[in-house]
Amino acid sequence: MPFKINEEIAIADVAIEVWAETIEGLFQDSGLAVSEVMVDTKTVEQKIELDISINSTSIEMLLYDFLSEIIYLKDAESLLFSRFDVKINELDLTAKLWGEKIDRERHHLRTDVKAVTLYRFEVKRENGIWKAEFVLDI
C-alpha cells in the first residue's frame, strides 16, 4: 500500500503519509489508510455500497472533509470501509465507498480514530506525485 504511519511526528496520535500518481488515487489511498488504522481492511467485506458527495474551499479541505466523513460514518452508522472509488472535479468530490457494518466477532478493531486534525495537514504535488500528510486523533 502506498502509505506509511510516521511515528516520528506523533506518538499519542497517528501521523500518516500517503502518495499517489493521481489526486483521486491520493484520496482513495488516504481513505484506505484511515480505515487500516481502525481495522484490518482485509476482514471488511464489500456488502454495502455508499455514495457520497462533498465540496470544499481547497483541495486540502476537500481531503480533510472526505476523511472526516469516513470517521463520522464509523461513529454514527457503525460502518467500516475497505474500498473507495473517488472522482474529483476541481473542488467537488463524488465517491463510492464499499464496506459493511461493524461485526465485533469478525473485525479486530485496532484503534478508535476520533478525528482527523489540521496539525501538519498538507496536500501537495512534487515531481508528478501527489502527497498528503495528516494526523489522526486517537
pLDDT at 5: 66
Q: Assign 9 a pLDDT band (cuts: 50, 70, 90).
A: low
In whole angstroms, give the CA distance from residue 123 to residue 64.
Answer: 10
CATH number of the domain residue 107 falls in: 3.55.10.10
Q: What is the mean pLDDT of residues 24-38?
A: 98
pLDDT tens string 51-71: 999 999 999 999 999 999 999
Q: What is the mean pLDDT of residues 113-118?
A: 96
pLDDT exceeding 90 applies to what percent of the chain?
87
Name the domain count of the chain.
1
Is 118 in contact with 97 (CB distance < 8 Å)?
no
Which domain range does residue 19 map to?
Answer: 3-137
Is 80 in contact with 100 (CB distance < 8 Å)?
yes
Going across the sheet that includes 48-55, the strands are 48-55, 92-101, 79-89
Burial 101-111 (b: 16+ CB within 10 A, else e): ebeeeebeeee
For the chain, the first-to-last Cα distance in angstroms comes to 22
pLDDT at 33: 98
pTM for this entry: 0.91
